[in-house]
Structure 1
Amino acid sequence: MADIRTLHQSLHQSVASKDYPRAAGLLSKLKLALLEHNALIPSHDIPAQALIQARDILEVGAVVSIHLNDEAAFLRYYAQLQPFYASTALEATPSANKNKIAGLYLLLLLTKNNIADFHTTLENLPDGEDDAFVRYPVMLEQWLMEGSYDKVWQATKSSQVPSEEYAKFSQVLVGTIRHEIASCSEKAYASLPVSNAKQLLFLESEGAVVQFAQEREWEVRDGRIYFPVEEGEKEALSSNRIIENTIGYAQELETIV
């Protein structure tokens, strides 16, 4: 498997230099080579070293797919890795990257609000929550269930993010939260000051607030955002609780309205 070794080394060099398009091209060649050597699916008939190499190639592929924003490719790599993680032929040499890949998958499930599969996956990770890569999405999921969106946002902005790949998924998650808060705000209020909406929506500037408002077809005038008025009186319902949790760390809710 000399050709595979050479391509494998080139793959790691491409990732180290962050040349992810080149890495993707090398991965296509490597997967074909693994298929020709029957090493794409683990078996006791294949030398353990070849299986370890194949597993590493697929793990690198999963990481590269995230950098290329290719969700479908990541899911394919994740599925291809599961037989390697479950293989008894590799029990003596467990992967050091298994929990990293699992944690990224958990984050993806959070961005899709797929909580059922999130918990199913977590249950199949014995002692996984003791690992920083798994603990991070578990922590975010708990805060999401509480409606503590400010904690989620703070976590995505701090050193708590375990790796660069996690930061990419975290930003997608923040975007999902931002739109959910926006929907709650539309139901809870007739209008909000732009300055307060900036904090509420976790945006970096008032200009970003105006751009976001335009995307949502909100009216902006005289320093305030005016939400579309629906028939009947606006009801706060549970939206108030969510918003209170979100902006509580910055200021009291009464200063907004």
Structure 2
Amino acid sequence: MAEKELKSIITHLQSLKPNTLSTAPSLLSRAKLALLKLDALIPSPKTSPAHLELAQTVLELGAFTSIHLRDTDSFTRYYQYLQPFYSLQTGSKHGRGKKGGNREKVTGLYLLLLLSGGDYAGFHTVLEGLEGSGEESEFIAYPVRLEQALMEGSYDRVWGETKGERVPSEEFGVFSEVLINTIRSEIASCSERAYPSLPISNAKNLLFLDSEGAVVQFAQSRGWVAKDGRIWFPEQEAENAAAERDVVSASGAVIENTLGYARKLETIV
């Protein structure tokens, strides 16, 4: 009975449209209850391969649904639920666990989530745990490219990667806004240390914002002043000037590179 109900719920979940995704959490709760009845929510030696496959399918659907609902905490829980199932694929001598599936996709999305939150230590811990498994997958290569660009301060490369056909799937695109907000914050921090002010027109492209009005709004959120067509950054306190001199120099180099990109955008537009 539980297995039949579970298959029906999976079919329902797979047929959901974007405007009906709000019903997914209740369906997923019912699915997990059915998995508990089948003793399959947490895999054990007694769990049948058929039930393992159903469980993995449900949990992967839960992970992807959480992303579309912008519920990163829920996605993280589903990622953790899935780890024992993925371990069966690589660690079992008897080939237990669902073949194929979405392991690389879920792992890549989790890497992107860590990157968006600035958790570089966690990012590298997960990456090292792959031990060569799936590293050639585009789902894994994509967040790795983004991390390398972020480490180099090549924010224009990151921006380019989050647009168009370079994004591996729709789910990865959902995280673009979070990642760009992280980049925007990094650029803003460098800018206010490196310059007394910037033209609003330059700041628009520099911060990857859609309009000068959005620049003014962003400036206000950070305590900057917008006047006379420029963004003015708060002056550094005198006692911090010497300590930040080296940081300013490094930040200036990053901003100069990104401003160059902004000017190129202006000439294209």
Common fold by TM > 0.5: yes
Deviation beyond 3 Å, 4+ runs, structure 1: 89-93
Q: Please state if 1:226 is matched with 2:232.
A: yes
The equivalent residue for 2:261 is 249
**Deviation of 1:128 (Å):** 2.1
**Deviation of 1:72 (Å):** 1.4
Identical positions, percent: 52
The equivalent residue for 2:267 is none
Q: Residues 154, 228 of structure 1: CA spacing in aligned structure 2 closer, same or farther, 3 A cutoff?
A: same
The equivalent residue for 1:135 is 141
The equivalent residue for 1:114 is 119
Say whether the 8 Å CA contact 1:136–1:161 is kept in structure 2: yes
Q: Please state if 1:148 is matched with 2:154.
A: yes
Question: Aligned runs of 1:43-82 on 2, under 5 Å?
Answer: 43-82=44-83
The equivalent residue for 2:34 is 33
The equivalent residue for 2:5 is 3
Cα deviation 1:144-189 (Å, max 9, x = unaligned): 1101011101111221111121112121011011011111111111
Cα deviation 1:23-77 (Å, max 9, x = unaligned): 1110000001101110111123222111101101000101111111211111111
SS at the partner of 1:45? coil
Q: Please state if 1:95 is matched with 2:107.
A: no
Q: Please state if 1:169 is matched with 2:171.
A: no
SS at the partner of 1:99? helix
Q: Please state if 1:24 is matched with 2:29.
A: no
* 1:239 pairs with one of 229, 234, 251: 251
Q: Residues 200, 160 of structure 1: CA spacing in aligned structure 2 closer, same or farther, 3 A cutoff?
A: same
Give the stretch that moved more between structures: 118-127 or 107-116. Answer: 118-127
Say whether the 8 Å CA contact 1:104–1:166 is kept in structure 2: yes
Say whether the 8 Å CA contact 1:8–1:57 is kept in structure 2: yes
Q: Please state if 1:197 is matched with 2:209.
A: no
Measure, in 2, the Cα distance between the counterparts of 1:197 and 1:250: 8
| Gapped regions of structure 2 (runs ≥ 5) | 265-269
Q: Residues 213, 92 of structure 1: CA spacing in aligned structure 2 closer, same or farther, 3 A cutoff?
A: closer
The equivalent residue for 1:255 is none
Measure, in 2, the Cα distance between the counterparts of 1:131 and 1:114: 22
Say whether the 8 Å CA contact 1:39–1:50 is kept in structure 2: yes
Equivalenced residues, count: 251
**Deviation of 1:92 (Å):** 6.8
| Gapped regions of structure 1 (runs ≥ 5) | 253-257
Give the stretch that moved more between structures: 158-167 or 100-109. Answer: 158-167
| Structure-1-length-normalised TM-score | 0.92
Say whether the 8 Å CA contact 2:86–2:97 is kept in structure 1: no
Measure, in 2, the Cα distance between the counterparts of 1:50 and 1:203: 48
